Each structure stands twice: as C-alpha cells, then as structure tokens.
Amino acid sequence: MTLKFGTDGIRGLANSELTPELVTALGRVLAHVMGTEQPFVIGRDTRRSGPMIQAAIVAGLTAEGAEVELAGVLPTPGVAHLAKERGAPAAMISASHNPYEDNGIKLFAPGGRKITEEMEHRVEAELRELAMDAPEPGPGGAGIGVDHQMQNPIDEYVGHVVGALEGRRLDGLKVVLDCGNGAAFRTAPMIFKELGAEVEVLNSWPDGTNINKECGSTDPSGLQEVVVASGARAGLAFDGDGDRVVAVDERGGIIDGDQILAICALDMNEREALRNKAVVATIMSNMGLRRCLAAHEIELVEVDVGDRNVVDELERRNLAIGGEQSGHIIFSDHSVGADGALTGAILLDVVNGTGHSLGLLAGVMQKFPQVLRNVRVRDRAAIEKDTIFWEEARQIAVELHPDGRVLVRPSGTEPVVRVMVEAPSVERAELVADRLVDLVERASFAPPPG
C-alpha cells in the first residue's frame, strides 16, 4: 500500500494504482491528520471511477468518526470555495487533464488552501504505518461518522464567481465555452449566462469516459474552429476539474496563461488595482511575459512550478495576481487557488470594458519561441551532482542572453529531466535544445530500455 504526492495531489490508474482499499486507508489517515472537528467537503469530476473513489474515501473518513458533506460534481475551485466559507477541510476527486482511466485526490486544509508539503509527508508516513499494522478499531455507535448531500453547492459557487465582477456585466458579448466534458459542464454555462453573455456550449455531455477526450484545454482545436465560424468574440476551454483555462481569440488564436496574466495585470495596473505592482509566475513562464511587464514597470516574481507555490508567494508579498503558463491563474482577492471560470470571466470583462478584441489585447506580449523536451534517463539525480554539465549549460545560457534562456529540471516523480529553451527563433531554440539533450543523456546515463 503506497501513496506519493505529486505537484498537484495524488494521481494514479483508477482501481489499479488508486484502489478503493488504498483510498479508504487514506480517508482514515486524513481523519487522524486533519482532525474531525469540522465536516469534510468532498467533490468530484465526471470520471466513471469518481463515485467509487468517493465511496472509498467517505468510508475511511466516517470510520474514524468524521462527518462528510458531499458536493457532487463541482469544479476544484468550487470545492475550495466551499471549504473556505465553512472553515472546513476538503478533498477533490479528479485527475485534472489526465485521461478518464486515471483519477486522483487533491486535498485542502480548513479554509480551502491546498495542504502543505509537511502535511503531505505526514499523510504519506501514516499511510505507510497503516500498511504495516492493522488499523485500530474506530469509534462505534453514535461515534461513527455519516455523509450528507450539500444543499445548493452549485448555486453557491456560481454566485461567488458572478459576484467577483462586482456588478459588471458581459451583455452582448458572444463566447463559446468548451467544458471538456468535465467538472465545469454545469457551472461554466450558468456563470456566463448569468453575466449576460451570449453563450454557445461545447462538450458538456459527460458520460464518464469522455472527459478531456479531444476537447477542453488539452485540445482546443474544435473550439478554435467554432469561435471563428460563429463570429464569437472569444472562446474558453476548461480542463477536467475546471481550475485552469485556455482562451481563444476571435481569429482562432490560442491565448495561454502567460498572455492572460499580461492582459489582466496591465488592466489591473491601469485601474490601480495591482497591489505592489508585481505579478507572480513560475520559472516556466515565457520571457515575453517578463519583458511585457517590465515595459510597464511591473515586477515579475518567479517561483517554482506548481500553483501552490504561486499562492504562497501571493500571500507572502500581498499581491493580487499570479499564475502559470498552463492556465492556472489566481486572483487572490477572489479565490484561494486557480479558477478557470473566474479567470475567463475577468478576462472577458477586460475585453468588454476596453472594447478591444482579445487578439489585440494579447498583442501586448511578444512570445518567444519555446521548446520543451522530456529526456528519459536512468538516474535523474546524477545530473544534480555533475558540475561539468552545469558549467556547459551555464555557458549555453550565456550565449543566448539576453534574447533567450535555458532551464533544466529533473522531475520529482519520474525518470525524466525536463529541458526548456527560449530563443529568438524556433530554429535556434531547437538547435540549443538538441545540444542540451545530448548533455543531459551523457550526465544522467543512457535512457532506460523501451
């Protein structure tokens, strides 16, 4: 019985790696680690395995005397919002953008923030102990916990997102929503219709197996075609659990998280709403974002990959906006984490308020060609000790400066080293990436067979 947290909770193949037995044990451990003073809020996305995983975690929690409130199918930010409002711990059952065969669990501390790394380590340690020893009997009789269906969780979350615009409307703006057959399939159309937009909806018929399948933020090609054909002002594509969004402009162009950050940050700066004139982004964000913000005397604060790192830095420095290139955007005045629908609403509010097209707004940021390679290796740790490799990598970075950069990151969970190169042209970026891949393979030994 093993479990390990990644950068965004726990994930695995449902009923094989993420088994009911393991999830039940996890529920028991969560009751120990997080306490049973407040009911746990549980939500899920639309995967076929969702009800099974939910039943297992509820069994574990209630076996230890915890009460559970079931939110049903709801985006991750909706679950986090409910946890914040109730001061309750929470779990979201989802594997985000992964295929339907996978599932996962994201855990939130009381108040809706993702649990800390320290708490993750405690959960992992207690689960290992539980695997070696039979669990002690839980409470009996009236001490056994029970679950309840929450009253109107969807309406509560939708009202929260709509309220973030403080009465501003999207009347007359046509938008196409690709719900990815995921957790946002009900809430996203409700939000934008309530804001007054003219809404066309794609991929909002989940059947348990079609989440993220050739749709949503992982594949917005269908959305691009519909936006252009319908003459819409914009399109929004959500991932499986609704915490990130990719936008499409009126010409079918993709607008990623970096561009969304640039658009929203400049608008907030003009309205004097950008506290401390700084934005948080990760080390993977495009150089174009830094240059765009610098041109407007806005600081870019870089953190490691993961929206939890963004949230922590926003709080530490009392900042209003941050996010990731993938489309995880956090508006700290309105949410405790990334929220795809909230981001989409604020982005379209800028479009409506300025009267400019989304394509024109996105033009404030000049993207640098970016090449990303995942290099499979035998020993990802070996590269960290190889001083010759890092000196060669540093020299390559010097050659690219100031019109490019390189980033080499061993994966925390896979036998992979990630290589990212930005350069003035795709050709230059590809050549540099090839050089770095060769160096990585030499430093970390040959790739494993197969």
Pick 349 or 138 by higher pLDDT: 349
Structure tokens at 277: 């004139």
Q: Which of 16, 49, 94, 96 is catalytic?
A: 96
Burial letters for 164-176: b for 16+ Cβ neighbours within 10 Å, e otherwise?
bbeeeebeebbbb
**In the predicted model, is pLDDT for residue 445 greater than 80?**
no
Q: What's the pLDDT at 34?
A: 94
Mean pLDDT calculated for residue range 279-302: 96
80-120: per-residue pLDDT in tens? Answer: 999 999 999 999 999 999 999 999 999 999 999 999 999 99
CATH of the domain at 23: 3.40.120.10
Same domain? For 327 and 265 the reply is: yes
Q: What's the pLDDT at 446?
A: 52
223-244: per-residue pLDDT in tens? Answer: 999 999 999 999 999 999 999 9
What is the percent of the chain with per-residue pLDDT over 70, rounded to a whole number? 97
Amino acid identity, residue 59? A
- 96 is known as an active-site residue: yes
Of 65-74, 129-138, 213-222, 300-309, which range is least confident?
129-138
Domain that holds residue 318: 156-362
CA atoms within 13 A on the CB side of 108: 30
Angstrom CA distances, 284 to 38, 75, 348, 444, stand at 37, 25, 25, 22
Same domain? For 340 and 196 the reply is: yes
Same domain? For 290 and 439 the reply is: no
The torsion region of residue 70 among left (phi > 0), alpha (psi -120 to 50) and beta comes to beta
Same domain? For 195 and 339 the reply is: yes
Final residue of a structural domain among 103, 129, 151: 151
Structure tokens at 296: 């407007």
CATH of the domain at 401: 3.30.310.50
Residue whose entry in the numeric block shows the structure tokens 């929450």: 150
Same domain? For 344 and 375 the reply is: no
Same domain? For 21 and 163 the reply is: no
327-376: per-residue pLDDT in tens? Answer: 999 999 999 999 999 999 999 999 999 999 999 999 999 999 999 999 98
**In the predicted model, is pLDDT for residue 276 greater than 50?**
yes
Nearest to 92, CA basis, from 81, 77, 76, 78: 76
Final residue of a structural domain among 318, 344, 362: 362
What pTM did the predictor assign?
Answer: 0.92
Q: Give CA–CA dist 66/143, Å, rounded.
A: 9
Longest dimension (CA), the chain: 71
Q: Give CA–CA dist 99/241, Å, rounded.
A: 12
Let me know if residue 448 belongs to a domain. Answer: no
Let me know if residue 295 belongs to a domain. Answer: yes
Instruction: Tell me the Cα Rg of the chain.
Output: 22
Pick 253 or 441 by higher pLDDT: 253
Q: What's the pLDDT at 137?
A: 84
DSSP bridge partners of 303: 282
Same domain? For 31 and 86 the reply is: yes
One-character DSSP codes across 236-302: EEE-TTSS-EEEE-TTS-EE-HHHHHHHHHHHHHHTT-SGGGEEEEETTS-HHHHHHHHHTT-EEEE
Q: What's the pLDDT at 413?
A: 62
How many degrees, rounded to 5, is the angle at CA 151 between CA 150 and CA 156?
A: 100
Q: Give CA–CA dist 427/407, Å, rounded.
A: 17
**In the predicted model, is pLDDT for residue 2 greater than 80?**
no
388-406: per-residue pLDDT in tens? Answer: 889 988 999 999 988 899 9
Same domain? For 109 and 95 the reply is: yes
Let me know if residue 429 belongs to a domain. Answer: yes
Pick 67 or 127 by higher pLDDT: 67
Mean pLDDT calculated for residue range 253-276: 97
Structure tokens at 188: 């996203």
Let me know if residue 449 belongs to a domain. Answer: no
Q: Provide the domain count of the chain.
A: 3
**Count of CB atoms situated within 10 Å of the CB of 228:** 17
The DSSP output letter for 18 is: B
Q: What's the pLDDT at 449?
A: 45
Same domain? For 238 and 289 the reply is: yes
Final residue of a structural domain among 133, 151, 169: 151
Nearest to 444, CA basis, from 360, 383, 357: 383
Let me know if residue 76 belongs to a domain. Answer: yes
32-57: per-residue pLDDT in tens? Answer: 999 999 999 999 999 999 999 999 99
- On whether the CB atoms of residues 261 and 281 are closer than 8 A, the answer is yes
Q: What's the pLDDT at 360?
A: 97
Same domain? For 195 and 123 the reply is: no
Let me know if residue 262 belongs to a domain. Answer: yes
Pick 121 or 1 by higher pLDDT: 121
